Structure 1
Amino acid sequence: MKVLKEANADDIEIIPMHEEEGISAFSFGLKDVIGSFGPEINEIATDSTWKTNAAGYELYAVVAEAGGRALPLAFTFVTTTGSARPGAKDRTLQDVLHWIKVKCLNIKFMLSDKDQLEINAFATVFETAKHQLCYWHAIRYLEQHLAEDCPPAAYDGRKT
């Protein structure tokens, strides 16, 4: 947070986060990117890394596509303890998505892997937008399951 607070306020914006016991999070968005492309953005994607540093923070990234370009929009670092209430990370990600929604009014699609937290947060904030599985994750899923050396599940068309 110290580095973010010292950064040029024209470049980044610290995203306001609700505070909650058992969770530590900080987020920032790239103001110039959103300011320049916000109205054009109709598709965002989210992904996360798992415990990227010694402090155990996960990193969530929100990126967009506009004008044939990949655009980083916002980043969130989050960690929880055993005292965090259920859904704490979901609510944290919702804070970030609400910030994006205010600045990007035309979002119609969201791509992600099968991370239920990301899917739930997106559905809560962008009620009418459609969620899709990322193409890379879909192909990977198919390759993994087609490579399994096991018979297919039994199927009986008479059962509903």
Structure 2
Amino acid sequence: SFDCDGWIHITLDDRCGTEARVKYTHREDHILYCCIDIPADMRERVLNGMDKTSTQLWNEILHDYPNPVFTRKAVYALWSRHHSQQYRLHEDELKSAQKFLEDAKRGYSVEPISLELPSGFDAIAFALPKILRRWSGRLREISLNSAWQTNGSRFELYAALTEAYRSGLPIGFLLIRSNDGEKHGKEKLISQFLQHIRTNWKISPKFTLSDKDYLEIHAMREQFPEAKHQLCYWHAARAVKTRLLVLRRAPAPYNVVQARKEFPDLDPNFVPVGQSIVLLVRFVCRLCSYRKQKMNLI
């Protein structure tokens, strides 16, 4: 604010109906506003330097003009707006990405994957043929990793990863956005994505890995039923640690029939320690002994 001795007085009177008396006072002028627009010569300099990053351009500007009236944010906005025109091929970001992949396909750097979209879903997927062409015959494991909130368009990112000579290799990416989509729609898209990689590149992994997301687990099991599926060690350790931190909550009774329906290889004679008949007998004996001692004291 400025010490301009400025006031606005508004007087209302019921007798005047809808009329109001306004008195405005302003005694001192404000200081002049400084123009912070990027000058024409600086705009031309930024537009001619699109091969550089915005940071490099800003450092060059500071070298020649140590105290510019415009801000770094303004330079970045100008640079970003014109730089995006190099790869933005359509106003719709999804169509722009699809066109971008089709153009990149000519250079054999990416392979767009055709997906049958369930109702209420948007998705785009592609594989990396250069890596797959070189390593597909040697891949023994595939992992599926996901990330959320990585972009402003609400697309969830899924990456198919593998390993060769102890180095991680990305072999494909899938982006999914759901707008109240149908049930199991996301699982269908993940399954189509993995099916393309499996059939087009003849991959037969011995191990598949994912986190604890059931959608990823089911899609992996559907496309690679012969592979052994493992959970991410970090997620498994975190789940166990979280469960151990819960105190005073008895586990559910073990039901051997229900357990063997899901895992037929389980030993039908297995009994958890907490439900063992031996422990039950010991508990009853100790209870009887305690009551007997109490009666003797009385």
- Per the shorter chain, which TM-score range? 0.7 to 0.9
Match 1:124 to one of 222, 228, 234: 222
Q: Distance in 1 between matches of 2:162 and 2:120?
A: 30
- Conserved? CA contact 2:144–2:161, under 8 Å: yes
Larger radius of gyration: 2
CA deviations 1:46-70 (Å, max 9, x no partner) are 1111242222110001100122221
Residue 136 of structure 2 corresponds to: 38
- Conserved? CA contact 2:144–2:210, under 8 Å: yes
Residues 1:99 and 2:218 are matched in the alignment: no
Q: Distance in 2 between matches of 1:47 and 1:97?
A: 12
Residue 275 of structure 2 corresponds to: 156
Instruction: Among all aligned residue pairs of Structure 1 and Structure 2, give the percentage whose two residues are the same amino acid.
Output: 33
Residue 19 of structure 1 corresponds to: 117
- Measure how far apart 1:149 and its partner are: 5.5
- Conserved? CA contact 2:204–2:224, under 8 Å: no
Q: Which residues of 2 match residues 133-152 of structure 1 at below 5 A?
A: 133-146=231-244, 148=245, 150-151=247-248
- Conserved? CA contact 1:12–1:31, under 8 Å: yes
1:27 alignment partner, SS class: strand
Unmatched 5+ stretches in structure 2 = 1-96, 252-273, 278-298
Aligned positions, number: 157
Higher helix fraction (1 or 2):
2
- Conserved? CA contact 2:142–2:162, under 8 Å: yes
1:7 alignment partner, SS class: helix
Q: Distance in 2 between matches of 1:112 and 1:100?
A: 16
AA aligned to 2:191 is: Q
CA deviations 1:75-100 (Å, max 9, x no partner) are 11001112x22111111011110111
Q: Distance in 2 between matches of 1:73 and 1:105?
A: 11
Residue 185 of structure 2 corresponds to: 88
Q: Distance in 2 between matches of 1:105 and 1:91?
A: 20
Unmatched 5+ stretches in structure 1 = none
AA aligned to 2:189 is: T
- Measure how far apart 1:26 and its partner are: 0.2
Say what the alpha-carbon RMSD is for the aligned residues.
Answer: 2.0
2:203 alignment partner, SS class: coil
Q: Which residues of 2 match residues 45-56 of structure 1 at below 5 A?
A: 45-56=143-154
- Measure how far apart 1:152 and its partner are: 6.2
- Conserved? CA contact 1:58–1:78, under 8 Å: yes
Q: Distance in 2 between matches of 1:133 and 1:56?
A: 26
Higher strand fraction (1 or 2):
1
Name the TM-score, length of structure 1 as normaliser.
0.88
- Conserved? CA contact 2:160–2:172, under 8 Å: yes
- Conserved? CA contact 1:23–1:78, under 8 Å: yes
- Measure how far apart 1:114 and its partner are: 0.4
CA deviations 1:95-124 (Å, max 9, x no partner) are 110111121432121111100000011111
Name the TM-score, length of structure 2 as normaliser.
0.49
Q: Distance in 1 between matches of 2:119 and 2:206?
A: 33
